[in-house]
Amino acid sequence: MKRIIILASGSGTNAENIIKYFNNHKSISVVQVLSNKKDAKVLDRAKRLKVSNLSFDKNAFVNSNEVLDILKNNADYIILAGFLWKIPAKIIEAFPNKIINIHPALLPKYGGKGMYGVHVHNEVVKNKEKESGITIHYVNENYDEGAIIFQKSVKIIPEDTPNDVANKVHKLEYEYFPKIIEKVILENDKN
């Protein structure tokens, strides 16, 4: 059984979708949700779905090995689902090509520090883009610069607001993120 730990900072809709997708899966299981915010709604979702969950602070993540040890002892893969902190090098080194993130735009456009959620969608609308979408990628030492695994686009019309773009992108996230995670894990398991 390949074990996933999800790192999330916010409401956790993607995390919930992933947990439900892998519920009763024959070879992949979400074993824990970790958050850098003790009041993040994702922790409530995890509790409701009977998934172990825990919050941590910056010191446990960056300066000590507290979070690293939890990950090394319990995870084969780390999935970022709306997690806003940069991943420390020691975690990237411990999980080469086993940390997967989703970004709400077609990278390399609209990536980097501070480019998440509504900030991305505001820029897409402001720049009159004709499409946006999702990018699922491996995590490296730079924000949103890891190797791209999968992209899917959606058309943007001139009347779309940032909220409209967000709704279109969320639909893609919910449809594709769990499937691509599954595909990556099962393909890696064969090798």
Catalytic residues: 103
C-alpha dihedral over 179, 123, 141, 174, to 10 degrees?
-10
Ramachandran class of 153: left when φ > 0, alpha when ψ lies in -120 to 50, beta otherwise: beta
Q: List beta partners, residue 4.
A: 30, 77
Cβ atoms of 14 and 41 within 8 Å: the answer is: no
| Edge-to-edge strand list for the sheet holding 52-55 | 52-55, 28-35, 2-8, 77-80, 99-103, 131-138, 148-155
